Structure 1
Amino acid sequence: MFQLPVPVLDANAGSGASAFGKLPEWNLDDLYTGEDAPELKRDLDWLEEACRSFAEDYEGKLAELDANELLDCVLRNEKINQIAGRIMSYAGLRYYQLTTDSGRAKFMSDAQEKITNFTTPLVFFTLELNRLEDDHLANLLSQKADLARYKPVFDRIRAMKDYQLSDEMEKFLHDLGVVGDAWERLFDETIAGLEFEVNDEPLNIEGVLNLLTDPSRDLREAAARELADVFQANIRTFARVHNTQAKEKEVIDRWRGMPTPQTGRHLSNHVEPEVVEALRDAVVNAYPKLSHRYYELKRKWLGLDTMQVWDRNAPLPMEDPKTVSWEQAEKTVMDAYNAFDPRMGEIAAPFFTEGWIDAGVKPGKAPGAFAHPTVTDVHPYVMLNYLGKPRDVMTLAHELGHGVHQVLAAGQGEMLSSTPLTLAETASVFGEMLTFRKMLDGAKTNAERKVLLAGKVEDMINTVVRQIAFYDFECKLHDARRGGELTPDDINALWMSVQGESLGPAFEFMEGYETFWAYIPHFVHSPFYVYAYAFGDGLVNALYAVYEEGEPGFEDKYFDMLKAGGSKHHKELLAPFGLDASDPAFWDKGLSMISGFIDELEAMED
């Protein structure tokens, strides 16, 4: 199956002009110039024939190939991946620009069905590859360096060897994938179509979520209660989607013999379960010194006896509510990137000038933000919903970091460029940290420094504490679904079981907050994705500490790390920096950076 990366939250579209200046919009011509572009028809025709001839030439014969023949087979498979990825990138990006447009939805769905049908005959490739004897494959790889470079791909494919079904069953599941995609689309279109009204103003979900950061506590409360009301009105749909997706996963996992619901994610992330558990335990154990401690400080700053959920992302009383123009946001991020290394700025610059960013908030546009790598012979595209908040500047830095990473990794080719989710956040979080440090260095007053530090701590808590709480919620959800259908109240209770523990005693939870699991796309699109954010943040915090210590040649090592794409395991990538994610102390090193910022904030209180 060829699918888009999951949006982070992540044409007919309206103008990009706004109060923040002229906002850029995508120009997708580098993929295709339109639905009726002759190049698109050419590629679809080529793909259908390429898949047919690939199966004809290789099915049942992989064990007989010599090293040269296996390399040719791999290269043909890679080309098929590239053309299919290009088509789906175009279809998906147009859809995310305007998810409420039925024509775009149909075009994407039709493209997905065609590609699924074309590529079904290719299912044999991974199945037969997994049936090769270890010694036989090792011998072939030793004969040809161009083939040996694909060993990481073979390793990832063969990690599924013990969970592989019969050829016929694998083809059936491949074809059935479009049904799961339909449930994801139902979720996306339901979210994009939700209508909210706060103080008589109609809003989409992005607009009402933005109000949760408004200086007015009354407005934040109104937004939170409106979210709760609308989620409750649609809760049966969201519960049906989650029940169906979790049940589908349980059935497939059971047939494959996977020991836990998380196993598939760990395998695709190329990370050991014990490393994830070490991360999870380190974060949960740190809740009291991270989120609990910070939110107690924030409660005092806000002058409240108890915080409500609508206070969690409230601006601080001393915060300047001015918005940041797009021009200033671009300059801030580009200055930070260039100060680290001009090569980074050079890679980032075309995103702003060549139509590689879609920044405006528009009706029907998908919420959140993401960077889509498309295919290695084009370039990434970044989607934002820019509203001029300081955090939006950080989001720009984050997604641009993804874009830089994807550009650098493209040299690995289609099958080796894609990084596991655990490493995919490296450049994005590092880009955020560079931008934050640049802004912190430029702070003119203690109050300004305090606001910047607090904002960064909140972002890190959202990235680490919140995502691990999300992970725990998902673990509980999938375990519970194995025991039968879950009612909305069942899911609500699971959600609330992790909220108090992660946020701490400073909070009360309004009636209705129990439904706030409903809008988070990762639970539907990509189960257990969320721990990758905490993994990435912890990794980058440890990496940045090495940078601050003045590691010789850090910049070159960092670029080499990004250029490696998915060609190396996390142990190999971190070794040049003297780091090891399998060491439990590694995560404490990363978490200590967050607690250090909180120490500084507490010291400002004296």
Structure 2
Amino acid sequence: MATQIQDPPSLPSWDLSDLYSAVDDPKIDKDLQQAVEHARKFEETYAGKVGQADISSDDLLHALDHYERLLREQSRPGSYASLHYSTDTTDTARGALTQKVREIGSQISTHLIFFDLELAQLPLESFDRLLKDPKLAKYHHYLEQQRDLAKHYLSQAEETILEETANCRGRAFKRLFTEVTSRMKYKFNLDGEERLLTQSELLAYSYDPDRNLRKAASESLAAELQNNAHVLTFIQNTLLHEKQISDRLRNFEHPESDRHVSNELDKQVIDVMTEVCVKNFDIVHQYYDLKRRLLGLDSLAHYDRYAPLRSQKQEIEYEKAKELVISSFGRFSPKMQELVEPFFDKNWIDVPPKPGKRSGAFCAGVTPDHHPYVLLNYTGKARDVMTLAHELGHGIHDLLAGKNHYLDYHPVLPLAETASTFAETLVFEKLQELLENPEEQLALLCEKLEDTFATVFRQISMFRFERQLHDARRQEGELTTERINGMWQQAMQEMFGPSLELGPDHQWTWLYIPHIVNTPFYVYAYAFGELLVLALYARYRQEGESFLPKYFELLAAGGSQAPAKLLSTLGFDIASAEFWQGGCDLIRANLEKAKELLSTTKMSVSEIAYHLGFEHSQSFHRLFRNRTSLSPLEFRQSFN
């Protein structure tokens, strides 16, 4: 059955009027100019004084409070411009505002650069004295961060030059990437009629029951990416080279080192997590071998990865998705339901896919005292419900972290994925209980496994690809599209092993992934968050309601503590391979649960049918043969 896309006008868009009324709101210019003036006065007042060895805690506290207010002030126009632009990147007025805000933001930053540099230059004795003073307790974590960053800062003159030119260097190429990919239109033939789809609409067909439509969607995606490969590869090469220079100047040993520093994680932690995940790739191999048999195919192609094991007879209306998410959150905690309801009631979510809109989904926090916003491209698929839950998990995290000042507001990326993934799990559990048909329950479990693979093993494969990509650019110079395609295919194929063949269409798919361009090495945060959530959810199952305060405290911490320190309060040692293996073991347990009744059980066919809830074994036999072209006994024997 062909995927149907909900009509965009029937879906709600967000209301940004509590930031500004429109792109030409005069208050935007007023706020920007005021922020510039405040930043200039801040520099006049504190430059040359913050780095004095004898600075008092009172003086530093006053400076930090002033600095924090400036960052809040600057954030509002920047957030509005970015959010407004994301829903229509073809609108020249929105693009112009985005660029204007970035350029004025650079002016502001040049007045503030001295502050962190002077903090970082404080003698260790002064730092220790200030950190012990209870007056500065709320800024303790931020001060420790600045001390750790000291060796990576350049001189004030050099930092100023880099900031003033940023909008015509890396930021410009990132904006170009967004504009190119958002303007792409994908030719797709549906029922004899050629249509032009957005990327989000096209990718929805990756989950269609019709294999021909899945294949056609893969071919359409590859064709349009190939048409734009030259400019997208040039963007990638330019950003890779810029990062190479930056890493050299800032004394970062490895391409991913700056991400580890900003995430406040030791390289060893991520290396251990990566090694454990790679050792468990066989989970992916086994699952897709099982899925191939369930689909009755001789071999799986890359466009079969998300083939549904159940036919979704109709799209899930957005209102139904909303009800499901709210009820799932409410069952976990009334507090969680109370936090999520305003997102719907006050139009903090932009739902429909539309031309020019950025693909994918995100949640954007503004300031601790302002609510976040969520962007979706909702097409009515079951996974869109999970995406809604995921982004609202981020939103709840932001709301709870709002008790912190701006410098401690945003959690580091790996912890930022905790609430989002936990929220998905809550909805999955609710869906499992609502489905009475055993076939539907099994199919949902398989979908959950596939989502987990995408979050853990695929992201780790992408992380390894990124490391190889940066290393190759530094050793070989500018890379051709074909060279990068080859690295991409190799990294992804290793995850799937012999269970699935990545065809030539797949080699182009790295070209549209925004994280690789906009936030290098972001992706390991997804694996970190998923495996952490598996541990958290297991703890919740053990402790019940007594777990809730601990969970909300974890989220409320925002970015006020480093991950290792924060998670140690729950008894988690993220430096140990055993911790990460525990998460992989839970994934493997779900795989075994899916395989048990279908392949390795000793029960007879009649017993299996009864266990699955079929009144007559013949009904199970017919259903199984329809799905796999094999009888249950033939299917079992194929594993021997």
Q: Same fold (TM over 0.5)?
A: yes
Matched AA of 1:280: T
Tell me the secondary structure at the aligned position of residue 201 of structure 1.
strand
* Match of residue 278 from structure 2: 284
Contact 2:329/2:426 (CA < 8 Å) preserved in 1? Answer: yes
Q: Distance in 1 between the 2:21 and 2:128 partners?
A: 44
* Match of residue 106 from structure 1: 96
* Match of residue 3 from structure 1: none
Stretches of structure 1 lacking an aligned partner (at least 5 in a row): 1-16
Task: Provide, for residues 17-48 of structure 1, a one-character-per-residue CA deviation record: whole Å limited to 9, x for no partner.
Answer: 94599422110011111233343233112201
Q: Distance in 2 between the 1:362 and 1:478 partners?
A: 34
Shifted more, 572-581 versus 95-104: the winner is 572-581
Q: Distance in 2 between the 1:114 and 1:140 partners?
A: 33
Give the counterpart of 2:212 among 218, 236, 253: 218
Q: 1:45 and 2:38 equivalent?
A: no
Q: 1:183 and 2:173 equivalent?
A: yes
Number of residue pairs aligned between Structure 1 and Structure 2: 587
Q: Distance in 1 between the 2:312 and 2:232 partners?
A: 38
Give the counterpart of 1:34 among 2, 6, 22: 22
* Match of residue 141 from structure 2: 152
Aligned pairs for 1:396-545 within 5 A: 396-483=388-475, 484-545=477-538
Shifted more, 506-515 versus 331-340: the winner is 506-515
Task: Provide, for residues 557-606 of structure 1, a one-character-per-residue CA deviation record: whole Å limited to 9, x for no partner.
Answer: 11111111011122332234322211211101111121111111001304
Displacement of 1:157 after TM fit?
A: 2.4
Displacement of 1:80 after TM fit?
A: 1.1
Contact 1:464/1:534 (CA < 8 Å) preserved in 2? Answer: yes
Contact 1:295/1:504 (CA < 8 Å) preserved in 2? Answer: no
Q: Distance in 2 between the 1:397 and 1:148 partners?
A: 35
Matched AA of 1:205: Q
What is the RMSD computed on CA atoms of the aligned residues?
A: 1.4
Aligned pairs for 1:323-362 within 5 A: 323-362=315-354
Q: Distance in 2 between the 1:558 and 1:58 partners?
A: 40
Contact 2:417/2:526 (CA < 8 Å) preserved in 1? Answer: yes
Q: 1:138 and 2:138 equivalent?
A: no
Aligned pairs for 1:245-264 within 5 A: 245-264=239-258
Q: Distance in 2 between the 1:346 and 1:141 partners?
A: 37
Q: Which has the higher contact order (CA 8 A, sep 6+)?
A: 1
Q: Distance in 2 between the 1:364 and 1:303 partners?
A: 39
Tell me the secondary structure at the aligned position of residue 592 of structure 1.
helix
* Match of residue 591 from structure 1: 584
Tell me the secondary structure at the aligned position of residue 374 of structure 2.
strand
Contact 1:215/1:321 (CA < 8 Å) preserved in 2? Answer: no
Q: Distance in 1 between the 2:218 and 2:463 partners?
A: 23
Contact 1:20/1:388 (CA < 8 Å) preserved in 2? Answer: no
Q: Distance in 1 between the 2:199 and 2:522 partners?
A: 22
Q: Distance in 1 between the 2:543 and 2:186 partners?
A: 50
Q: 1:169 and 2:158 equivalent?
A: yes
Q: 1:55 and 2:43 equivalent?
A: yes
* Match of residue 118 from structure 2: 128
Tell me the secondary structure at the aligned position of residue 408 of structure 1.
helix
Tell me the secondary structure at the aligned position of residue 160 of structure 1.
helix
Displacement of 1:138 after TM fit?
A: 2.2
Tell me the secondary structure at the aligned position of residue 297 of structure 1.
helix
Stretches of structure 2 lacking an aligned partner (at least 5 in a row): 600-640
Q: Distance in 2 between the 1:361 and 1:194 partners?
A: 13
Q: Distance in 1 between the 2:598 and 2:407 partners?
A: 52
Matched AA of 1:381: Y
Q: Distance in 2 between the 1:215 and 1:59 partners?
A: 63
Tell me the secondary structure at the aligned position of residue 550 of structure 1.
helix
**Structure 1 residues 552 and 346: alpha-carbon distance in aligned structure 2, compared to 1, 3 A threshold:** closer
Q: What TM-score, normalized by structure 2, do the two folds share?
A: 0.90
Tell me the secondary structure at the aligned position of residue 429 of structure 2.
helix
Contact 1:299/1:306 (CA < 8 Å) preserved in 2? Answer: yes
Q: 1:24 and 2:9 equivalent?
A: no
Q: What TM-score, normalized by structure 1, do the two folds share?
A: 0.95
Displacement of 1:491 after TM fit?
A: 0.7
Matched AA of 1:165: L
* Match of residue 5 from structure 1: none
Contact 2:390/2:420 (CA < 8 Å) preserved in 1? Answer: yes
